[in-house]
Amino acid sequence: MQGISLDLPTGYYLERDPDILTLRRLDGSIVGAFSARGAAPEAVRRMVQETVQGEDSAAVQPSLQVRFFGHFEMLCDGETMPLGRNGKALTILKYLLANRSRPVSQDHLMGWLWPESNLKKARWSLNSAIHGLRKLLSGCSSSVTMNYVFLEDGYYRLSPSVRVTTDVDDFDRHHERGRRLEKDGRTREAAIDYEKAVELYRGDYLIEDLYEDWTMVERERLANAYIDLLGRLAIHYMEVGQHQESIRACYRVLEKDRCHEDSYRLLMECYARLGLRARALHQYRMCEQILGREYGTSPSPETRSLYVRLLKDESA
């Protein structure tokens, strides 16, 4: 095998060993390894060429980055893609991206998007929208010509050859990893993941589709997760003495849920620790007023107890 000669593409070289042939890139990273014992030169040449071709194919595989938080955006290999004016095609795209783990039936799309049309007209409209969707996705700046939307046995799905990453997936990953770290007592590391998740939350999920039934449950789930993240960060900041950061996190929670009593209580604690007792007491009065107006209830015993303690400290 020592005498084998291979014509490799630029950027690759073959490292020979008595037992192993290792294909490497010029930076030294390994692409593949092959047994050198008893292998015919032609077999090794074929394996090397197939490996290089497979890597070249992966290198041009289109990559879509999807932003569901706030207004919908889609990037292809880092470049923002124009979304066009075909509203139905865009709706189908969002739905396929959000449900890419399972195919979507033609019947479901026709009944949802064209409920008043007869079957023939609805099918024509769906075909037209899918054509528009494929045209939209073909604008991805990849040199590969491919079909981005598959139809199999009456079900649509995105091509598995397209790599899709979404801000929602990243958000969930940071949230879940932060929870695990916090459970293990690694609160500072957890806070870093929480902060990364919060940064991804540019606005409510698919805000332009506010009244679409299929977005509502996911929007609620993500909003609740966002409030949970901010609450955990607010507690962490207070515990490490970053009171202003805790205050900011609490106000962000109250922007989403003005009846969030835990946030009022944290604000009272933070302002008190900063020596701003008047502001701390004001938070209680705001909490009392809002809970009374919205739900006809009073603050919890825990919140009232903190208020009484602050009053005593002020009088002392």
**pLDDT tens string 116-153:** 999 999 999 999 999 999 999 888 755 456 788 999 89
Question: Distance between CA atoms of 56 and 295, rounded to whole angstroms?
Answer: 62
Q: What is the pLDDT of residue 84?
A: 84
pLDDT mean over 76-101: 91
DSSP 302: H
Residue 209 CA to its chain's centroid (Å): 18
Q: What is the pLDDT of residue 26?
A: 65
Q: What is the pLDDT of residues 94-121, one digit of tens each?
A: 999 999 888 999 999 999 999 999 999 9
Where on the phi/psi map is residue 24: left (φ > 0), alpha (ψ -120 to 50), or beta? beta
Question: Distance between CA atoms of 316 and 302, rounded to whole angstroms?
Answer: 21
Q: Which of 25, 63, 53 is nearest to 143 (CA)?
A: 63
Q: What is the pLDDT of residue 98?
A: 95
Pick the more confident residue, 269 or 13: 269
Per-residue exposure over 118-142, b if at least 16 CB sit within 10 Å of its own CB, e if not: eeeebbebbeebbebbeebbeebeb
**Do 132 and 86 contact (CB within 8 A), yes or no?**
yes
CATH of domain 63-161: 1.10.10.10
Question: Distance between CA atoms of 111 and 311, rounded to whole angstroms?
Answer: 62
**Do 272 and 280 contact (CB within 8 A), yes or no?**
yes
Interaxial angle between packed helices 261-273 and 243-256, expressed in degrees from 0 to 180 and rounded to the nearest 10: 160
Residue identified by tokens 């449950």 is 217
Q: Is the dihedral of CA 160, 166, 170, 175 positive or negative?
A: negative
pLDDT at 173 over 50: yes
pLDDT at 1 over 50: no
259-to-178, 227, 284, 291, 297 alpha-carbon distances in Å: 26, 12, 12, 6, 11
Q: What is the pLDDT of residues 180-195, one digit of tens each?
A: 999 999 999 999 999 9
Q: What is the percentage of the chain residues whose pLDDT exceeds 90?
A: 66
Count CB atoms within 10 A of the CB of residue 267. Answer: 27
Query: What value does the mean pLDDT of the chain take?
Result: 87
Catalogue the long-range contacts made by 48-55 (C-beta closer than 8 Å, 24 or more residues apart).
48/6, 48/8, 48/14, 48/21, 48/23, 51/23, 52/8, 52/9, 52/12, 52/23, 55/31
pLDDT at 22 over 80: no
Contacts (Cβ under 8 Å, ≥6 apart) of 307: 268, 281, 284, 299
Tokens of 299: 């603050």
Q: What is the pLDDT of residue 316?
A: 43
Question: Distance between CA atoms of 89 and 99, rounded to whole angstroms?
Answer: 15
Q: Which residues pair with 12 in a beta bridge?
A: 25
Q: What is the pLDDT of residues 243-256, one digit of tens each?
A: 999 999 999 999 99
Q: Where are the domains of the chain?
A: 12-59, 63-161, 258-316
Contacts (Cβ under 8 Å, ≥6 apart) of 143: 60
Pick the more confident residue, 12 or 196: 196
Question: What Rg, from alpha-carbon coordinates, does the chain have?
Answer: 28
pLDDT at 242 over 80: yes
pLDDT at 303 over 50: yes
pLDDT at 27 over 90: no
- Give the pLDDT band of residue 30 (cuts 50, 70, 90): low
